[in-house]
Amino acid sequence: MQSVLAVDDSASIRTLVSHVLEAAGYQVVLAEDGREALEFARDNDVDVVLTDINMPNLDGIGLIKALRTLPNYKFTPLLVLTTESGHEKKMEGKAAGATGWIVKPFNPEQLISTVGKVIA
């Protein structure tokens, strides 16, 4: 089963993401912020990481930068969840090493198809 590490400080978004992705047949690991996600990632591989940007302790951009320095995450697709429709935040994510983004609000189908796109 393919696994997704979903990182968001909002419990409702976390629940939504895990419900949707689990229904689509993924194994989902949840983390509340970048620091928790990074701790998990140090010892565990996943097939894709999905992260919010604005989070306490370690934000999404910081998480992506840190993950890209881990050998086992060098070629893992990293997606940011962003409410910013503007170019700037997306590019900030890209510059940090993100593969792509999902713009909130997203519907379940969009989430599944986007994750499906990077996990071939």
Partner 1 sequence: MAIDIDLAEIAQLFIEESMEGLDIMESGLLNLDLGDADTETMNSIFRAAHSIKGGGATFGFMEISNFAHHVETLLDEMRQGDRPVTKDGVDLMLQSVDCIREMINSLADGDVDTTRADELEIDLAKMLGSDASPDPADVTEAAADAASESPGAPIVGWEIKFEPHPGILKSCNDPLRILRELRKLGELEVRSIGASKLLLGEFDPEECHVAWQMTLHGGIALEQIKEIFDWVSDECELSIDPIRDENAPQPPAEVVKESTEDTVTPPPKPAAKKASKSSSSSQDGGSIRVNIDKVDALINLVGELVITQSMLSRFNSDFDFTQIEQLREGLTQLSRNTRELQESVMAIRMLPISFAFSRFPRLVRDTGNALNKKVDLQLVGETTELDKTVLEKIGDPLVHLVRNSLDHGLETPEARVAAGKPETGILQLNAYHEGGNIIIQVIDDGAGINKDRVLAKARERGIVGPDEILSDEKINNLIFMAGFSTVDQVSDLSGRGVGMDVVRRNIGDLGGTVSVKSETGVGSTFTIRLPLTLAILDGQLVRVGSQSYIIPLISIVETIQTNDEKVNEIVGKSELFKLRDEYLSVLRLYEMFGVQADSTRIDDGLLVVAEANGHRVGILVDDLLEQQQVVIKSLEANYRQMPGISGATILGDGTVALILDVPGLIQLFYERNADVQNNVHQVA
Interacting residues with partner 1 (CB under 8 A): 9-13, 15-16, 19-20, 23-24, 52, 54-56, 68, 74-78, 81, 83, 85-86, 91, 94, 97-101, 104-110, 112, 117-118, 120
Alpha carbon dihedral 17, 19, 20, 22, in 10-degree steps, equals 110
The CB-of-22 to partner 1 minimum distance in angstroms stands at 10
Between 20 and 38, whose beta carbon lies closer to partner 1? 20
Between 38 and 52, whose beta carbon lies closer to partner 1? 52
The CB-of-28 to partner 1 minimum distance in angstroms stands at 13
The CB-of-25 to partner 1 minimum distance in angstroms stands at 9
Between 26 and 38, whose beta carbon lies closer to partner 1? 26
SS3 sequence of 47-99: CEEEEECCCCCCCHHHHHHHHHHCHHHCCCCEEEEECCCCHHHHHHHHHHCCC
Residues 46, 5 contacting (CB under 8 angstroms): yes
